[in-house]
Every structure is written in C-alpha cells, then in structure tokens.
Structure 1
Amino acid sequence: MDILDELRHHENLSVVPEPQLQWLIDSSELVELEDGEYLYRNGTPIDHLWLILKGRLRMFVAQAEGRQTRELGYNEKGYIGGVLPYSRLKTAVANAVAVESTTVLRLHRNKFKEMIQTQDELVQPLVHLMLDRIRDFTKLDQQNEKMISLGKLSAGLAHELNNPAAAVVRSASALKRHLGFEASKFKQVMTIHVSEEQVDKVSELLAQKLQEGPQGTLSLMEKSAREDDLTDWLDDREVENSCEVAESFAEYNITTDDLDQVEEHVSDKYLSPVLNWLNNVLTTEKMVNEIAEASGRIGNLVKSIKEYSHMDGGGDKKKIVLRDGVESTLRILQHKTKSKHIEVAVEMPDHLPLISVSPGEINQVWTNLIDNALDALPEGGKIRIEAEQDRNFIVTRIIDDGAGIPENVINRIFDPFFTTKEVGKGTGLGLEIAQNIVKRHRGQISVKSQPGRTEFSVCLPLDE
C-alpha cells in the first residue's frame, strides 16, 4: 500500500504539502486489526489520532448494563478519528471494533507539540475537522435529546388524553342506551294526567336538585344508607326500577322527605312514571356533565400543548407571562407527578411584569429542570416553583426536597454528556441545552444543593 499516495488523495489532507504528509507517516505507526478486534473500548484512554487506510470500524455504545447496544454507525476508509490537535478528549465514549480486516495509521498525542510547532499546514485541516465534528455531533445529540423529551411527553400525553377520551366514549354509550326508545316507558309518560300546579311542584324539586348538582360529600356508608331508605320507600309504593332510581336520587341528595312532598301532589297511579321521568332527567344531566367535563379536560390538554410548543408563534421572541409557560409545562408533565405522587406548589406572583423570550425555548428549560427534579425525587416528594423580580430581572427558582447533588459532581452537571442517571436513561445534554438557551436570552442559570434541598435558579432580563 502506498500510504503517501493515499494521503495525497484524502479529501481533508490533499492540500497539505507532501513533506508534512511524510512527517505524519514517519511519526505514526500502522495497526492491523482482524475482524472482531477492537481499536478501543468505551471508557479506555484515547491517546491517538488515527486514520483508516483500509477496512472499516463499527461504532456503538452499550446500554442497559451491557445487555443492549446503540449503534452509532460505521467509519469507513479515509475516516480520521481519535484525539485531534487542541482536543480535550481523554477517554473513549464509544466502542470501535473492526468488521473486516482493517489497517489504521495511528499518531500518539505526544507528537502533537512537534506537529503544531513544525507542521502547521497539517494541523489546520485537522483542527477544522475537529470543529466540524464537534458541531455535527453536538447538533445530533441535541436532536436526540429533544426526541427523547418528545417521546416522554408523548407517552404522558397519551396517558392523560386516554382517561378523558375513554370517559367520553363510556358516557356517550351509556347515554345512548339510556335515551333508547322503549314503547312501554313512552306510553307511561304520555298517559300522565296532572295539573299545572302538580307539574310546578315536581319542576321546582328538579330545578333545585339540578342547581345543587350531584353531592360528593357523603361517605360510602352514608350514601349506601340513603339508597336503602329510598329503595324501601320506592318499593313500598311499587315504583319501577326502584334500585336504579334510588341510586340516582341519593346522588342528587333527594331524600324520602322530598319524595313525600311529590307524593302529596301526584296520585299513586302516576307516581311511578313521574319518578322514573325525574330519574331519567337527572341521569341524562349527569352523563352530559361527564361528557362536558371530560371534553373540557381534553380541550385543556390541547390548549396546554399549544401553549407549551407555541405552534403558531415560531421561534421569535414575544412578551409573555412567565407563569403561563411553567403551568403549561406542569400540565404536560402531570402524568409523571401523579405516578410518583409528587406535590407541586407554584408561587409566582400575578404582578410580575411580562418578559420578552422565545416561549418554546424557555418552556424547554422548564421541562428539563422539572423533569430532572421529578426523576431525582422519591415517591411523595415535593417541588416548589417560585419567582420574583430583582431589579431588571426575573429570577425563577425550581426547588425540590430530594437527596441533593453530590459535591464531587455538582460542578460538572452543565457539562455536555455528563449525567448521573443510569445508562440508557439520559444523554447528559438536558442541562447543557437549558444553559445554552438561557445564555441566548442573556440570562444565567445556577444551582445550589444540599440533602433535602436542591435549587436551580434561572435569571432572565426584562429588557430587550
């Protein structure tokens, strides 16, 4: 193999003078790898710049305690990797294994000082390559982080939407059955003969109970006792569907005293159809209210999604109420707070001034900080979100009562790819992305932590 000729035609090195390419060859070593042999493993020191002259390497990382892998792709002939001039890379963050017979030209980092001092035209394309690779790699991992966040939010929203959607379907089906035409019931209602005064008495009771609505204050034993009393009253008067009617009446706080008043104004002949008609109206009202409530919950969730993502606002800055973004984020993450029984308190005064931000980006900051707090908290933990104006800034604090961040890692939590979560459960970019967003808004994010209290502070300027 003519290595010099290979380097002359390399897309990144073709502009380098031949003597400097020859210096690279003379200062390096050739490494021959057989199929299945590793160039390096995740976590091992990276001390070489390397270039594939022949063959290819498979790149992957292990996840879930080594039982699964995440494929990063293949590096083919001509690929330059490892540590590059001025790079701070110390250890490998992935595995590189040959998938066929592979030849690698490898330069140790102890040659970098000489290369920088004497081979400047060789250094330049390597530095440019490093910068391009950092830019591409960071962009890819930021996109992965966003997709992971989106997946978490989607799963939570699917769960949150499923409950009210199922309630709508269930109540609509029950209402359809309830309103189904039955000739016998229709005949009973149509043959009722009552005076206007009698109608008014029943209507007054109905209007009163509908206004008061279903009573949720009764205990199960109290409700059961009331149903028993009502059932006995109805059975004594041979009212049809006594159990169903009693259950509905008990829910709307209709007592036997109320029924005694109805009985005073309605003859025994029409008592059963009148009371069943009354039950029919109450049951219909209840089902319609259930559908309205469930539909309202769906509508609020959709509204929260729109507010959270600002789908109609693009990425431009606009004046917003900061609390609105925090609350829409909390609604999006509600499934997580519910599942861990986390208590969340929002103490953000209404009198805080509007602030000019990119709403979608700032909501991503709240998502990353609150989601991290939820992950760190045990079941039954507490989160407090507070805000205040400090001169020309609004300072928002997200405080949790978890175990805290260890002293030996707290200074690294904003570093890219650093995470304290288990393998496969975090990319280590969430806080770095949050910090970059806050910096783009000319703000500052900081953290203080001790056991029982971790506080992230986000300081954002009010003026443009």
Structure 2
Amino acid sequence: MTASPPTTPVNADLAPRLAQHRALREAPASEHAWLLAHGTRHVYEAGDVVTRKGEQAHQMIILFDGHVVIRADRGAGAHKVFEWKGGDVGGAMPYSRGASPPRDACAEERTEVLAIDKEHFPELVRECPVATAALVHIMIDRARQFTSGDLRDEKLVSLGKLAAGLAHELNNPASAVMRSSKILIESLSSAEEASRILASAGLTPEQFAAIDKARAMCDAARGNAPSTPLERADREDELTDWLADHRATQEYAIPLADTGITPGALDLLAQTVSGDALEAALGWISSCVLVKSLASEIEHAAERIHDLVGAVKGFSYMDHAPAAEPLDIRRGVADTLTMLSSKARAKGVQIAVEIPDDVPRVHAVGAELNQVWMNLLDNAIDAVDKGGHVTVRASRERERVVVGIIDDGPGVPKEIQGRIFDPFFTTKGVGEGTGLGLDIVRRLLQRHDGEISLDSEPGRTEFQVRLEAER
C-alpha cells in the first residue's frame, strides 16, 4: 500500500484557496465548508507515490499546488500519460468505476492536496450538488483525454510498424531498379557498339533475316526459360559449349540462358551466318536480350513499388474523409497483410485468407477498421512460433459479418483471458508491447456498433470481430 504522507489539520487558510480553486470555485461557500470538514490536508514531497499501479484510488484529491504525473512505457521509452496540477482534481470521484492507474502516480514536486475518502461520496452527492456536477464534468473530460491520448499513442506505434514494414518492402524493388538501371546504361552502350559492328559486317538480306529470326526466337522462348537455378546452370553450360565450338564469345551464354533458346535453335542461325559475321550477330542478339531483360526487371520492380504505394493509400485511406462508408472486408485485410508481409516472411509465417466473394460489405470508417485488422494480425504473427500459421476467415451470420483471425500459437492462459482487453495489459516484454492494442480494437469496434470476442486454447486462438452488414 502507499505510505501515508504527512498530514496537518484542516485550517481556515484553505477556505480562500478552495474558493479560488479552478475546478471547484463555482460551488457555494457551504459546499466548500463541507469539503473542508470532511477532507484531510496531505503534503507529498517530490518522488512520493500518490497512488500505486494496480491499486484503486480510495480518495479524491483536490490539488492546490504541485504536480502529479503518471508515466508509462508504450514501446518508445517512458513518457507522460496523464498529469494533474494545482487547480485540478484527481483520484477517485463520485460515480467513477474506481479504475486503477496503469503506472504509479507520483509527485513531481512538493504537492499540497485536500483528500476526501470514498466513504464520504454518498453524502457529498447529497450535500454538494454544484461540486458534484463539476466533478462529473471533470471525470468525462478525463476519460476523453485518456481515450484520445491512447488512440494517438497507439496510432504512432502502428505508424512505426507500418513505416518499418514499408521500408523493408520498398527496399527490394528500389534496389532492383537502381541495380538494373545502372547495368542497363552500360548495356545500351554495348548494344550500340554491337549494332555498329553488325551494320558494317556486309551481310546479305538473307543473313539479316536469319539474325532477326534468331532474335525473335529468343523473345518467343522466354516462356520456356529454365525455372530453377540448376536448370539455368545446365542451359548456360550447353550454350557455353556451343559458343566455344563456334569460336564465339562465351559470355554471350549468360543473357541467352535467360531466354530459353537452345543450342539447336542457334544451329539454324549458324547455317546462314558464320565466322566474324556470326560473332557480330550473337553480340547484337545477346545485347538486345540483356537490354530487354533489364527493362523488364525495372518494370516489375516499379510495379511492385506502385502496388505498395497503393496498399498504403488503401490501408490509411489518406485520400478519404474520415467518414463511415461501405467497405469491402477483403480489400482492408489484403492491404493490411501487404503492410505486414515482410514481418510474416521473416518469421516464416504462412497466412491464409478465406473470405468468400458473397460476404457483404460493412459500414465503417476505413482507416479505423484497418487499424483493427493491423492490431489483430500483428498480434497473431507475434503469437505463433517460427513457421506458424495464421488464418483470416469471414462469413455472414444474419445481419452481421463475422471475421475470425486464428493462429496456432500457444494460446492465451485462462487466468488472463478476462483481462486481455484491459488498457495497458500486455503479455509482451517491456518495450515490446503497449498494452493498448486490444483496448483500442475494442473501442474502435464500439464506435461502429461492433464487438470482439476471444476463444483460446493451446494451439488455437481466435479473435472474432462482429460488424453490422451493409444493407
């Protein structure tokens, strides 16, 4: 329990201070007198604990001066969650549920308060209606401030996860674009030189036609290109041997092996073109093949970047007003999984999505609903072992859409299942979890007249989200 701070008798000098108190100055003098008669003056020195983590406050605290702060670590180091200064009222209040603070509430400096025990609250409500009304408004504002702060902090945590995942996803295609574009610049110079050599080789129209046919065969053979590294190595060896037999540059085998063209197809070219002319022809063909291959790699990487940007826009609804609208569950889940794909791959997690086409839309704010999917799917990936499985299922039950997120992790112990949606409750290590994710999920779903439930046992955990179907 919290050690009792030094106390002094309630003196008359508190009456004028209470009359000037920001939160309670509108109350009449008779109510001030009642508060003074039933309260005790406390003085907390800097560092004293006013209310300990997990313990319900048993007193209402009217602060005259000083500073009381709750600090918590929400994944990025300890920072201020809530504070009270002179002119504020904290602790327990009439009509409050008596929740306990998520961390110790400590005095930051010498703090003087008037403390009133909870046992006096019923009489306070009867004898001090003006003060009671003021306290109710304070309680509502405090809840609103806690809620907005929690949502803001959880969004920042999610933004950090989103940025980290996106940076990892963008790195691969961006690196491919840079690498291929550099090689492409060099290859264009080689292709120009090969074209000049070919143009000066004095070839007949029939030979040019044979060369062009061979180049076209390379393009057509891409569908039959080796599909595994071993097959590609074998094809490259075959082409290297063919080039050596025809006294041609053996490095041409590297780009040609990617096309699927065979030594037999090159034999057709060698029947018409030979000697230096064959060398020039093969140089030009391999240059054309390499340029097209690099351009194709750049195109595919750019498409991946475009898809990622589209997924971010879809996930965040950055070009939508924050208003409810008909939403496709499949799109929201797909965009969210795109954001989490690097994390899932790094852990070898296999994710299956089983959402039938006939599942109706739901009416919700897109960014908020995607926040729900992000938190639940992120937790599921964290919960499973390496190589684990996560499944997303959806179906219609009467007027509701039911979305289940299932993992094959160790499960949530029975003894803590009833607390899993409590704010600041987490089973993760210090700095690994905020303890706000599931609380935020619950609050966001309540905004949409939805609900969430948990069914867990070792080897199978399912969070079920129920939302009203769009009519």
Equivalent residue, structure 2, for 1:257: 264
CA distance in 1, matches of 2:77, 2:328: 44
Instruction: From 390, 400, 405, give the equivalent of 1:398.
Output: 405
Deviation per residue, 1:434-456 (Å, 9 max, x gap): 33333443333322111111122
Amino acid at match of 2:141: D
CA separation of 1:332 and 1:100: change in aligned 2, threshold 3 A: closer
Q: How does 1:207-286 map to 2 (within 5 A)?
A: 207-213=216-222, 217-240=226-249, 242-243=250-251, 245-286=252-293
Deviation per residue, 1:357-380 (Å, 9 max, x gap): 333332222222212211212211
SS of 1:385's equivalent? strand
Consecutive unaligned residues in structure 1, runs of 5 or more: none
Instruction: From 62, 67, 71, give the equivalent of 1:51.
Output: 62
Deviation per residue, 1:359-411 (Å, 9 max, x gap): 33322222222122112122111111122233333322221111112222223
Is 1:35 equivalent to 2:42 in the alignment? Answer: no
Instruction: From 169, 172, 176, give the equivalent of 2:178.
Output: 169
SS of 2:395's equivalent? strand
Equivalent residue, structure 1, for 2:3: none
CA distance in 2, matches of 1:362, 1:61: 26
Is 1:328 equivalent to 2:335 in the alignment? Answer: yes
Comparing 161-170 with 18-27, which one deviates more in the overlay? 18-27
Residues 319 and 357 in structure 1, CA contact (< 8 A), matched pair in contact too: yes
CA distance in 2, matches of 1:33, 1:433: 34
Is 1:462 equivalent to 2:469 in the alignment? Answer: yes
Residues 49 and 105 in structure 2, CA contact (< 8 A), matched pair in contact too: yes
Shift of 1:210: 1.4
Shift of 1:150: 1.6
Equivalent residue, structure 2, for 1:452: 459
Equivalent residue, structure 2, for 1:342: 349
CA separation of 1:205 and 1:145: change in aligned 2, threshold 3 A: same
CA separation of 1:356 and 1:143: change in aligned 2, threshold 3 A: same
Amino acid at match of 2:22: E
Is 1:419 equivalent to 2:430 in the alignment? Answer: no
Is 1:123 equivalent to 2:132 in the alignment? Answer: yes
* TM-score with structure 2 setting the length: 0.89
Residues 191 and 284 in structure 2, CA contact (< 8 A), matched pair in contact too: no
SS of 1:253's equivalent? coil
Amino acid at match of 2:72: V
CA distance in 2, matches of 1:301, 1:158: 10
Instruction: From 356, 370, 376, give the equivalent of 2:377.
Output: 370
SS of 1:408's equivalent? helix
CA distance in 2, matches of 1:389, 1:268: 72
SS of 2:330's equivalent? helix
Amino acid at match of 2:29: E
Q: CA RMSD in A?
A: 2.6
Shift of 1:215: 5.7
Residues 226 and 232 in structure 2, CA contact (< 8 A), matched pair in contact too: no
SS of 1:386's equivalent? strand
Residues 58 and 91 in structure 2, CA contact (< 8 A), matched pair in contact too: yes
Is 1:190 equivalent to 2:189 in the alignment? Answer: no
Comparing 212-221 with 342-351, which one deviates more in the overlay? 212-221
CA distance in 1, matches of 2:381, 2:360: 28
Instruction: From 83, 101, 105, give the equivalent of 1:92.
Output: 101
CA separation of 1:423 and 1:84: change in aligned 2, threshold 3 A: farther
CA separation of 1:390 and 1:212: change in aligned 2, threshold 3 A: farther
SS of 1:409's equivalent? helix
Comparing 123-132 with 96-105, which one deviates more in the overlay? 96-105
CA separation of 1:62 and 1:298: change in aligned 2, threshold 3 A: closer
Residues 59 and 75 in structure 1, CA contact (< 8 A), matched pair in contact too: no
Amino acid at match of 1:421: K
Shift of 1:288: 0.5
Amino acid at match of 2:168: H
CA distance in 1, matches of 2:441, 2:232: 52
Residues 74 and 435 in structure 2, CA contact (< 8 A), matched pair in contact too: no
Equivalent residue, structure 1, for 2:79: 70
Comparing 149-158 with 180-189, which one deviates more in the overlay? 180-189
Equivalent residue, structure 2, for 1:143: 152
SS of 2:404's equivalent? strand
Residues 62 and 114 in structure 2, CA contact (< 8 A), matched pair in contact too: yes
SS of 1:70's equivalent? strand
Is 1:20 equivalent to 2:27 in the alignment? Answer: no
CA distance in 1, matches of 2:67, 2:450: 45
Shift of 1:308: 1.8
SS of 2:189's equivalent? coil
Shift of 1:182: 8.4
Consecutive unaligned residues in structure 2, runs of 5 or more: 1-10
Residues 411 and 456 in structure 2, CA contact (< 8 A), matched pair in contact too: yes
In the alignment of these two chains, the number of paired residues is 460
Shift of 1:178: 1.1
Comparing 159-168 with 109-118, which one deviates more in the overlay? 109-118
Residues 225 and 261 in structure 2, CA contact (< 8 A), matched pair in contact too: no
Residues 42 and 61 in structure 1, CA contact (< 8 A), matched pair in contact too: no
Shift of 1:330: 1.1
* TM-score with structure 1 setting the length: 0.90
Comparing 261-270 with 219-228, which one deviates more in the overlay? 219-228
CA separation of 1:312 and 1:183: change in aligned 2, threshold 3 A: closer
Comparing 148-157 with 251-260, which one deviates more in the overlay? 251-260
CA distance in 1, matches of 2:230, 2:175: 28
Shift of 1:126: 1.6
